[in-house]
């Protein structure tokens, strides 16, 4: 555990303990509030995390991530019913936010509309299914008085922390007060939903934000919860603590990683993700039509470059310069989360945008993929595409892609040269294939339909 990570978990634990007396409906709100978003824009604090001397300002000295997980294990246990409720006549509730990403076909194939209910967290989500759907905005609760009481309690606590390195910041105070209000409302919303609907199981995409409230309230009621893995475990800060009854994970990497945290036995299951099932389906658009719509040269091979906004834009420019001087390829840019032309499209007139094409329409129609350390890289490998990764070292990186060896590079020029080698050297092409296959045997060992595996897990938990 490096200094940055140690300081982060120590600071987080300080926060939990310093504000654990802020309670509502039996829940300590410091366990519920999403801590990273309280400091997301506080560059001074993030910079301090690198400093060994910062530990002197912290009361806790977390030496291992499992120490932090253990705090939550005990907290969850304190709210847990002795036995899970086996309510096989109840409905499976899917909490649908922007991270759930379960395709309609999965719902059509594996979820009975009479036995399932979708709760949408926002109105901008597009999830057209035959399953009865409600929005959390449909549920109103009288929480104003309770919110004022807890907020006043928090303000009084702020006064006692006037010299604190984090709590003295006005932005922190305002964010925390807003999140207290949101958490109280969310507790009431999920309680109202569960009073209205007899639930057998609840599926969430993450146990941060609303998903954490759902998982904790469900735990108190004895209702099993499943947390789908919403992306690769690249940055550990987004995946600790583990809270749900069962985390449905991609493969052995996650099982080994979570077991090191000493999570409860039986609380992990390799499910993959239903959206990845699309990688094993025939393409929905022919290569010739795909090339026509994007203006690609049918006589050239196509390289897909996956970026995230303008992060590391200088490195991506070096990569394109390196490749384009030696290879005559179609080059496509897919920007997450946007589908409009990217700065790289403007910088290099020969580089094309993927426009509004869905990822699973793109992948069958390209010959190679280069990405930042994103979930898309895994998806491309599942679609049997060679993948190279332009890495930008993050101190909280879990090492998810480390076993790809040379296919992961920090230096964009070096990575570009390896991509050139892939297209020119058959033996290197074979090596890239072997590395990919070895990686997937560990990272995603089961290619059977994830939707079916999810349904089997639900049945096991509810009957």
Helix (H) or strand (E) holding 74, with range, is helix 65-79
3-state DSSP assignment of residue 28: strand
Q: Which long-range contacts (CB under 8 A, 24 or more apart) does 373-377 make?
A: 373/232, 373/234, 373/397, 373/400, 373/401, 373/408, 374/231, 374/232, 374/234, 374/306, 374/308, 374/336, 375/231, 375/232, 376/306, 376/334, 376/336, 377/232, 377/306, 377/401
**On the CB side of 244, how many CA atoms lie within 13 Å of its CA?**
26
Q: Are 416 and 319 in contact, with CB atoms under 8 Å apart?
A: yes
pLDDT at position 83, please?
67
Residue bearing tokens 């006549």:
89
Helix (H) or strand (E) holding 288, with range, is helix 287-294
DSSP assignments along 47-59, one per residue: HHTT-GGGGGG-S
C-alpha distances in Å from residue 456, one per residue of 90, 111, 207, 414, 459: 16, 11, 21, 45, 5
Q: Are 150 and 197 in contact, with CB atoms under 8 Å apart?
A: no
**For the chain, which residues make up each domain, given as ranges?**
83-272+450-462, 280-443
pLDDT at position 342, please?
87
pTM (2 d.p.): 0.95
Question: What digits encode the pLDDT tens for the residues 144-164?
Answer: 999 999 999 999 999 999 999
3-state DSSP assignment of residue 33: coil
Residue bearing tokens 């203006």:
295
d(CA 4, CA 11): 11
Q: Is the peptide bond before 363 cis (omega within 30 degrees of 0)?
A: no
Give the tokens for residue 361.
């329409």
Handedness of CA 422, 428, 429, 432 (dihedral sign): negative
3-state DSSP assignment of residue 234: coil
* Alpha carbon of residue 76 to chain centroid: 22
pLDDT at position 126, please?
67
pLDDT at position 446, please?
97
Is 280-443 assigned to CATH 3.40.50.2000?
Answer: yes
Q: Are 389 and 377 in contact, with CB atoms under 8 Å apart?
A: yes
The CATH code of the domain at 83-272+450-462 is 3.40.50.11190
Which residues are within 8 A (CB) of 83 and not within 5 positions of it... i.e. 6 or more apart? 222
d(CA 249, CA 270): 5
Question: Given the DSSP bridges, would you call strands 27-28 and 23-24 parallel, antiparallel or unpaired?
Answer: antiparallel
Question: What digits encode the pLDDT tens for the residues 82-118?
Answer: 667 778 889 999 999 999 999 999 999 999 999 999 9
d(CA 223, CA 229): 19
426-443 vs 252-260: helix crossing angle, rounded to 10: 50
Low-confidence stretches of the chain (pLDDT beneath 70): 82-83, 123-126, 339
Handedness of CA 436, 440, 443, 447 (dihedral sign): positive
Residue bearing tokens 């002795």:
82
Handedness of CA 79, 80, 85, 86 (dihedral sign): positive
């Amino acid at each position: 555990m490096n200094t940055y990570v140690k300081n982060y978990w120590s600071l987080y634990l300080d926060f939990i303990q310093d504000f654990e007396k802020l309670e509502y409906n039996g829940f300590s709100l410091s366990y519920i509030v999403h801590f990273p978003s309280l400091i997301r824009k506080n560059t001074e604090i993030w910079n301090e995390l690198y400093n060994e001397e910062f530990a002197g300002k912290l009361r806790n000295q977390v030496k291992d991530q499992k120490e932090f997980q253990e705090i939550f294990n005990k907290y969850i246990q304190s709210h847990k019913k002795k036995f899970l409720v086996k309510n096989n006549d109840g409905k499976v509730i899917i909490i649908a936010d922007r991270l759930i990403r379960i395709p309609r076909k999965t719902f059509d194939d594996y979820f009975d509309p009479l036995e399932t209910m979708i709760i949408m967290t926002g109105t901008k989500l597009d999830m057209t299914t035959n399953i009865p759907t409600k929005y959390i905005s449909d549920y109103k609760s009288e929480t104003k008085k309770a919110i004022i009481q807890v907020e006043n309690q928090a303000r009084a606590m702020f006064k006692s922390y006037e010299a604190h390195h984090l709590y003295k910041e006005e932005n922190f105070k305002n964010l925390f007060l807003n999140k207290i209000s949101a958490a109280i409302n969310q507790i009431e919303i999920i309680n109202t939903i569960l009073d209205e609907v007899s639930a057998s199981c609840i599926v969430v995409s993450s146990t941060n934000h609303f998903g954490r409230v759902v998982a904790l309230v469900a735990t108190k009621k004895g209702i099993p919860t499943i947390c789908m893995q919403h992306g690769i475990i690249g940055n550990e800060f987004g995946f600790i603590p583990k809270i749900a009854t069962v985390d449905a994970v991609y493969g052995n990497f996650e099982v080994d990683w979570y077991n090191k945290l000493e999570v409860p036995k039986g609380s992990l299951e390799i499910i993959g993700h239903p959206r990845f099932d699309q990688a094993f389906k025939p393409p929905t658009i022919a290569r010739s039509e795909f090339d026509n719509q994007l203006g690609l040269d049918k006589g050239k091979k196509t390289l897909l470059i996956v970026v995230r906004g303008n992060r590391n834009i200088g490195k991506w420019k070096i990569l394109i310069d390196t490749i384009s001087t030696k290879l005559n390829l179609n080059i496509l840019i897919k920007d997450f989360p946007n589908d409009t032309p990217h700065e790289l499209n403007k910088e290099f007139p020969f580089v094309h945008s993927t426009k509004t094409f869905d990822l699973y329409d793109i992948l069958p129609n390209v010959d190679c993929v280069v990405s930042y350390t994103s979930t898309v890289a895994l998806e491309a490998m599942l679609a049997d595409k060679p993948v190279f990764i332009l890495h930008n070292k993050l101190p909280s990186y879990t090492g998810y892609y480390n076993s790809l060896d040379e296919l992961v590079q920090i230096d964009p020029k070096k990575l570009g040269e390896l991509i050139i080698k892939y297209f020119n050297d058959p033996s290197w092409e074979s090596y890239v294939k072997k590395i990919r296959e070895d990686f997937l045997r560990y990272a995603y060992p089961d290619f059977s339909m994830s939707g079916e595996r999810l349904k089997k897990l639900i049945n096991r938990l509810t009957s």
